[in-house]
Amino acid sequence: MLKHYYPVDDAIVYFTNRIEKQTNAEYSAKLLKTHANIGAQIEHVLMPSVELERRLDLGIPELDPESELLFGLDKSIGGEKQPLSNAAWLLLGYRAGLGEKENDLDEMVRRRHSLSAKERDMLFLSYLFDLEDTEAPKLVDRAGEPGLITDMISRSGINSLTRIKLIELYMNFDAHIDRLAKILAPAVGIIKDSEEVYESAAEKQLEALAAEKDLSAYMLKKHNFKLSKSEKHILHLSILAPHTVNIRDGVFGNMDVYLGVGVNDLAGLLYAGKDSDRLAAVFKLLSDETRLEMLQAISRRPMYGLELAEAFSVTAPTVSYHMTKLVMSGLAESYFEGGKSYFKANTQELLALRKNFDSFFGIGVQKPVKKGTDD
């Protein structure tokens, strides 16, 4: 079964990526490094003006602001135009991650108010680990022990704010599972009928990507989504919400269409395209999540070396290594002030990169068509 993880909280992604380095270096790296963490942060660094609407397309109540789930429509499954949110992929990942019978998680969610301490910890651990991973049994065997989860989080290598956020999530996990159960309920039936179709569709997607050069056209075809030819529209590509379609009314009466694209899609097309070496090199440079987080941090304000080391719980040589890479690439600049070496983002270079990115993929280009044209 394919394992697509769309964690509910950003802290889970950070935490999983950190723990991944400390356990099995190959554990789900191809999945985690191409989803929400890198995607969302590249969006923040390179596309700060884009704010996607966070809404449900399943006709169920809006989530509270604390939730980090991004929903959309996947209209490519089996050729049917049926609503299917990222919650569906989420459930697939959780059920696969348990490494047991496929209905185990469904049963645990149904019995969420009467879970034992061990079951509750295992459900939380399924957010963070593939429980079939070689290191996972050490945790699973101890699940339910008082203080196990909070101690594991406290001793992790994540920064203090993320650590606090994740502990709060664990301490309020019962309420969180209540919300999750309501979200997943409409998707369970669709998933049970569509798992084989998903796997087949994923294989076909990789084949199509190998021959595709136009990312906008590719994503439209992937979603089986047709834009009305009688409407003005501006097409945007976003990494913030992979595999989603969001539509909003534009400021000037046009229709804004946001297509969610995965980092894998971008990288494949960049390397396949012409005159794209610079963009491809930048994406490769930012594939290290720590380096990407540091670039995001110095994009907000200048920071000196020891300050970065403390903020990211790394050594000074590690900061020096990442900053040297960013400075040599032109994405960051360094200067001395008050006896300290400060680093700041090279705004002009980032804006130029953004312009080249938009130009390469034709993002934000308005395509007006005469009224009255058939769809």
Q: Which of 289, 239, 298 is nearest to 15 (CA)?
A: 289
Backbone dihedral angles phi then psi of residue 266, each to the nearest 5 degrees: -65, -50
Bridge partner list, 343: 303, 334
Say if 256 falls within a structural domain: no
Cα separation, 248 vs 169, in Å, equals 31
Say if 113 falls within a structural domain: yes
CB proximity list for 189: less than 8 A, separation 6 or greater: none
DSSP string, 298-346: HHHS-EEHHHHHHHTT--HHHHHHHHHHHHHHTSEEEEEETTEEEEEE-
Q: What is the tally of structural domains in the chain?
A: 1
Say if 165 falls within a structural domain: yes
3-state SS assignment for residue 133: coil
Contact predicate 158/166, CB 8 Å: yes
Say if 367 falls within a structural domain: no
pLDDT tens track, the chain, 375 positions: 222 333 333 334 434 444 444 333 333 333 333 333 323 332 322 222 222 222 222 222 232 222 222 222 222 323 332 332 333 333 333 333 333 333 444 555 566 667 778 877 776 666 555 444 444 555 667 777 788 778 777 766 555 665 666 677 677 766 655 655 554 444 444 444 444 544 454 455 445 545 555 555 665 666 566 655 555 666 655 554 555 555 555 555 566 666 665 555 555 555 555 456 677 677 777 777 788 888 888 988 899 999 999 888 888 888 988 898 888 888 899 888 888 889 998 888 888 777 776 666 555 444 444 444 444
Say if 291 falls within a structural domain: no
What's the confidence (pLDDT) of residue 271?
53
Q: Is the dihedral of CA 153, 158, 160, 163 positive or negative?
A: negative
Contact predicate 158/18, CB 8 Å: yes
What's the confidence (pLDDT) of residue 303?
92
Say if 36 falls within a structural domain: yes
What's the confidence (pLDDT) of residue 63?
28
CB proximity list for 146: less than 8 A, separation 6 or greater: none
Q: Is the dihedral of CA 73, 77, 79, 82 positive or negative?
A: negative
Q: Which of 282, 283, 244, 287 is nearest to 4 (CA)?
A: 244
For residue 144, is it left (φ>0), alpha (ψ between -120 and 50) or beta?
A: left
Cα separation, 154 vs 135, in Å, equals 18
Residue 58 belongs to domain spanning:
10-208
pTM of the entire predicted model: 0.33
Query: DSSP alpha helices (H): ranges in 49-171?
Result: 86-97, 104-110, 117-128, 136-140, 148-154, 160-171
Say if 82 falls within a structural domain: yes
Torsion of CA 268, 272, 274, 276, to 10 degrees: 30
Say if 266 falls within a structural domain: no
Q: How far apart are the first and last CA of the chain?
A: 37
